[in-house]
Amino acid sequence: MSESHPLIHVKGLTKVYKMGDVDVSALRGVDLTVRRGEFIAVVGPSGSGKSTLFYILGGLAAATAGNVIVDGRDLTKMTDAERTRIRRELVGFVFQRYNLLPTLSALDNIGMAQYIAGRSASSDGWFEEILDLLGVGHRLHHKPRSLSGGEQQRVAIARAIVNHPALLLADEPTGNLDTENSDNVLKLLADLNERKGQTILMITHNPEAAAYAHRIVHMRDGRIVHP
């Protein structure tokens, strides 16, 4: 896909959930374009639709209507299996709760992402580069319970980017961290974007976290109210 094309183009995105006999509209005709290399924060109150947007962009949920073009491919026209393949090929995820496997070391947690994607350990220096960038190289053989919250989140970021994803999706990545560790993680994301050109879309309710992004998208009642 040409670098001149946006990485993400969302048009008329609608998501309706069935709650018994009631239809609940989580997204109401959302339009959004994300250029390659952008760092975007999506903010809004609980129930605004930002998490639903996150899940649909990551191929974790299907849209009810509209189009979601990611790297030239329309997720709304794909089967579940096809969306799963797109997730593995194009998207890295960082969540609030880290989601590290407790029985594996930091190194094996990162390596598991490569295994799931059907890739062997990279020989192009990227693995060592991200360990250096994220400052976790000296903690690789420790299991999650031996790591601080900030260290666990840095390992989670390393796992998310080890396969060179076109898009990094971060859902409240500092939600479980204190102020110092939150700042450190946000600086790492900004550095990753600045130095490596990583496209990042971050969901957050925290205006201080959102300030690290290039662009802030405000959502309310399932709509984007300020792009």
Give CA angle at 76 (3, 112), nearest 5°: 70
Q: What is the mean pLDDT of residues 115-135?
A: 74
Axis-axis angle for helices 149-161, 126-134 (nearest 10): 150
Nearest Cα neighbor of 198 from 3, 1, 39 is: 39
DSSP E strands, 158-214 = 167-171, 199-203
pLDDT higher than threshold 70 for residue 227:
no
Domain ranges of the chain: 36-60+78-226
CA torsion 127-130-136-137 (nearest 10°) is 40
**Average pLDDT of the segment spanning 12-25:** 92
CATH code of domain 36-60+78-226: 3.40.50.300
Who's near 11: CB < 8 A, 6+ residues apart?
31, 66, 67, 69
Give 124's pLDDT tier (boundaries 50, 70, 90): low
Residue 123 has pLDDT above 70, yes or no: no
| Helix (H/G/I), strand (E/B), else coil: 22 | strand
Averaged pLDDT for residues 41-68 = 94
Tens-digit pLDDT profile for residues 175-224 = 888 999 899 999 999 999 998 899 999 999 899 999 999 999 999 999 99
Encoded tokens for 142:
């420790």
Which residues make beta-bridge pairs with 200?
Answer: 39, 168
Give CA–CA dist 151/143, Å, rounded.
Answer: 11
Mean pLDDT, range 38-45, rounded to an integer? 96
pLDDT digits (tens, 9 = 90+) for 134-166: 888 888 899 999 999 999 988 999 999 988 899
Quote the pTM value: 0.90
